[in-house]
Structure formats: structure tokens, C-alpha cells
Amino acid sequence: MARRPFDPSSLGLRKTEYRRGDVLDREGVDALVAEADVVVHLAFIIMGGREESRRINLEGSANVFAAAAAASSVQRLVYTSSVAAYGFHGDNPRPLTEAVPPRGSDEHYYSAEKAELESELWRTVGDLVDTYVFRPCIVAGPDALMPVEAIPGLVRRLPLTVLPDTGIPFQLVHHDDVASALVAAVRGAGTPGVYNLAGPGELTPRDLASALGWHSLPVPRIAASLAALGARLPLVPAQAQWLNAFRVPMVMSTAKARRELRWRPRHSAAETLAATVFSARARGLL
């Protein structure tokens, strides 16, 4: 179920029934969930404004959680959170493991909402339903172009294609590898709980610039901190708030997913970046 019109047969999906709906419509969510054995909740706004984001992300997700907890047929709930739930804090351990509490970051409302929603999830569902929570890093790939469309787009408006390089590492995960983790949870693999998802390897802004065919300019990390501080100001676009994501290292361990779910990502971070850039160029975005 989603808000946009969609014909499953256009992708050759013969066993998929699509219902158009909105997570803010509690009755519609209840009707869908009442027939489900497993509920997978993916709906979320990433780049919306603060008020719209909070209404859809928190109220909509709360509807899904409550419906899953109330439906007698539901055996499992699978929810995609984010690495952002940990919060962009300088004292975060490296690597981040699932034992680290999700503190969120108030200056980055997407991060704060993800952390708040995880608390809401456990309060609502408790032990009524087996629950899997995934915390993927930045999701990319040929069909997930947000990293190219949103983040580098801020710099691309400059006359020169130069990307500031703080040397701060980040991770990518291919959308197909996220899907394989979701499938494992739907099937009830491993133990219900929280799992980090990231492709093998780490990248830096320099790697991103190289993949784009741009130049990279080394800058001190303090510059990233000052830019992130500016992104806290009122009326700053949602994209600018993502500067916080590159202020501190956000590197996760995926050992638990590999151990418990037997999850084996097929794409490294570098391969995922290359596939994302190639697709963006093919679509005329670069």
C-alpha cells in the first residue's frame, strides 16, 4: 500500500496485490493489516519540511504500529529505521553496534524522529508481535538516487564542481541488499530485534567526488562542524540539515545481521556508489 498509483504487472509482479492508500488513514491501515501475517513498514519522508515530516513519519508510523499490535493475524512486524537514529554525536563509538542506544540529534529532525519512533514502536508493540528493526546507512543504487539528487546537488549549483573533503568516512548499502535483509525478516530468520545494515567498505567525500568526476578540496573537520551548526537555523532547507551526517563518523558494524540473519550483502560501498552514479548519468541527472 502506498499513496502513488502503481500497476504491479508493469514490473512483471504476478503475485502482488496493490492497494492505494495513506498511512495517515487509520481505517485504511487497519483494513490492510487485518489480513496480513507479516507487516513491513517502509513509508517515510526524508526530505520533507519539519511539520509535514513529523505528521507523516510519526503519526503515520504510529498508525501502522498500533494496527499491527491489534491485529490477531500479524506474526511479525518489520520496520526500517536508520543509522540516523543513533544521532550525530561526537562521542558515538566506532563502529556503532546495535547495543548503542538511539539518541537522535535534535538539530536534525529526521534523526530525532527516527529515534523517537523506535521508542514509540517498542511501547506500542512490546512483546505482542515479533519485531525486526533495521538501521541501514545511506541506501543507494540504480533505483535509489537520493544521495546524488539531494546532497551533491547543493554543491553542483556552484560554477566549479568541487566537493569539500573532510576525510570523514561514511557507508553505503545497495537497495537490493536491504531488500534481502527484509526478506530474511519476513521469513522469520534469526532472532527478532535491531539490525544494522551497511555494505562492505567505507568511503569519504573524496571517493564521492572521484566517482562524480569532480575535484575534492581538503577542508578541516571544524569547517564541517560550522556548516552543520548553520544548518540548525530556522527556515534552512531539509537538504542542508544533512550536513550533520558528514560532521562525525557514522560507521556501523553489521556483524549481528551477518550472524543472526545470515545476511550477505552482494555489493560493496564502492560498487554501490559506482552503480548509483552510472544510473544518475544515464537519467540525465549529472
User: 201 vs 241, which has greater pLDDT?
Assistant: 201
Please state, rounded to an integer, the average pLDDT across all residues of the chain. 88
| DSSP summary character for residue 108 | B
pLDDT of residue 85: 96
Whether the per-residue pLDDT at 134 is higher than 50: the answer is yes
Rounded CA separation 149/283 (Å) = 11
Q: pTM of the predicted model, to two decimals?
A: 0.89
Asked if residue 14 lies in contact with residue 50, where contact means CB atoms within 8 angstroms, the answer is: no
Query: What region does 234 belong to: left with phi over 0, alpha with psi -120 to 50, or beta?
Result: beta
Helix (H, G, I), strand (E, B) or coil at 38: strand
Rounded mean pLDDT, 11-16: 94
Question: What domains can be seen in the chain, in order of their start residue?
Answer: 8-282 (3.40.50.720)
pLDDT of residue 154: 41
Q: What are the backbone angles phi and psi of residue 162, rounded to the nearest 5°? A: -125, 135
The string of pLDDT tens digits covering residues 48-87 is: 677 888 888 999 999 999 999 999 999 999 999 999 999 9
CA gap 181, 267 in Å, rounded: 13
> Which residue has better confidence, 129 or 156?
129
pLDDT at residue 49, rounded to an integer: 72
Which residues are 195's β-sheet partners? 134
Nearest to 152 by CA among 238, 234, 214, 235: 214
Residue 69 has phi, psi (to 5 degrees) of -70, -30
Averaged pLDDT, 198-205: 96
| Residue 270 pLDDT > 80 | yes
